Amino acid sequence: MAHDLFQAAQAAMAKAYAPYSKFPVGAALRTEDGRVFAGANVENASFPEGWCAETTALGNYIMGGGGKITEVAVIAERMAKCSPCGGCRQRLAEFCQPDTKLYLCDNAGVVETVTMADLLPYGFKGDILK
């Protein structure tokens, strides 16, 4: 099952808008009921206004109804095991559980599986803000 999420991330990467960095990234996540949401990075001539593939995928996930995320895959064609940036770790942690699996990929498939807790230990949690 990890491989089909990898393929969804790879298909999303093909849609990346990355004319400045030329570093296309794709991300895909699956909810417990089997829905898959994917996204690519979207850059901007005003560089800080661009955003990451994981962020696009999360936007699609929210617009698709949200739910419990069970797995996430990330791929960058120019870097094996591209790992979500710090900001995306925080965004993913908002909707993932500590044991949610993240698949770090190369162009052939999943290379390494880590958990959300591996990627963001001691992350800020918003419970007190609710």
Residue number with CB closer to ligand THU (71 or 84): 84
Question: Is residue 23 near ligand THU by the rule CB under 6 A?
Answer: yes
Question: Is residue 71 near ligand THU by the rule CB under 6 A?
Answer: no
Name the one range near ligand THU by CB under 6 A: 17-25, 99-107, 111-119, 120-128.
Answer: 17-25
Q: Kindly report the CA angle at 115 between 113 and 121, in degrees rounded to 5?
A: 140
Burial class (CB in 10 A: 0-12, 13-18, 19+), 93: buried
Among 2, 15, 35, 50, indicate the residue that binds ligand THU (CB under 6 A). Answer: 50
Helical H segments across the chain, by residue range: 2-13, 53-63, 86-95, 116-119
Least Å distance, CB 15 to ligand THU, is 12
